[in-house]
Amino acid sequence: MWKWEAEGQPKAVVAIVHNAYEHHSKYAWLIQKLRGSGFHVVTGDLPGHGEEVGRKVHDEAFEDYIAYVKKLLMIGIGDNLPLFVIGHGLGATLVMHLLRKEQLECAGIILSSPWLSLVHMPSKFSNVLSKLSSGMKINHEMDSELLTRNYEWRLEAGQDPDYSSVVTARWYKELQLFLKSVAQAQVSISDRPILLHSAGHDRVTDTAIAKKWLMNQQLSEFQYKNWKRLYHDIFQEPEREEVYKYTEAFMDNVLRSLGYIV
């Protein structure tokens, strides 16, 4: 895990939990924006992702993902500053799971394009998953063209040796069960200010399910923002500056409500 110090006087800490298949380096632009706005940033790579072990096939246990996120948040809390959590894709779903299971010491939560019901499935095996052996490899085919309209990032992603959407059948089955358990949970998450971003042209996940999940929570304060033209990876899109300003305004308003001068 890594930590970047704020440029100037810090006002809060932001922990970033990335999506499946990718790694923290994808968030370099966001990290720099946060630092320039007075936020410390802590993040890292989910187990089996990035350069950690150089694996090309994902078969990690979801319990290990959850343990990693808990550890990341504990590091964020260590600065004795308000903590915000940004979770994207599966990273958002992991945060949602923990919000229901744990009393997280955080000032606010930002969820972007959470995975609750995938509309993009592995085409070759989608109809026979239940019959596949646990170790069989499946390509989820989560290519950059699905994720963003940003042509420069598409080129960069296509040359990234540490990005892989190849998984085992066991992992994919566990993924589906995990998403269903979060989406259909009857118990509300702990009450924290939440901003949920969704993309109007998301071709990866069903945004209606995410909105329904948010409306079913017992929350004192929440915001839902649908970015009509954007693809799944909202922080990589050509409009990411607008997305960032909206996110920063949410965090600043939470800090003001806590008595901080920002």
Residue with tokens 């600065």: 79
Q: Which residues contact 138 (CB under 8 A, 6 or more apart)?
A: 122, 124, 125, 129, 132, 166, 167, 168, 169, 172
Question: Which residue type, as a one-letter code, is found at position 124?
Answer: K
Q: Where are the alpha helices (DSSP H) in 59-206?
A: 62-77, 90-101, 144-147, 151-158, 169-183
Predicted confidence at residue 52, as pLDDT, reads 59
In the chain, count of helices (H) and strands (E)?
8, 10
pLDDT, position 134? 75
Structural class in CATH, domain 2-257: alpha beta
Sequential pLDDT tens for the chain (262 residues): 899 999 999 999 999 999 999 999 999 999 999 999 999 999 999 999 987 555 689 999 999 999 999 999 999 998 999 999 999 999 999 999 999 998 888 999 999 999 999 999 887 655 556 566 778 888 999 999 999 999 998 988 878 888 999 999 999 999 999 999 999 999 999 999 999 999 999 999 999 999 999 999 999 999 999 999 999 999 999 999 999 999 999 999 999 999 998 8
Query: What global pTM score does this model have?
Result: 0.95
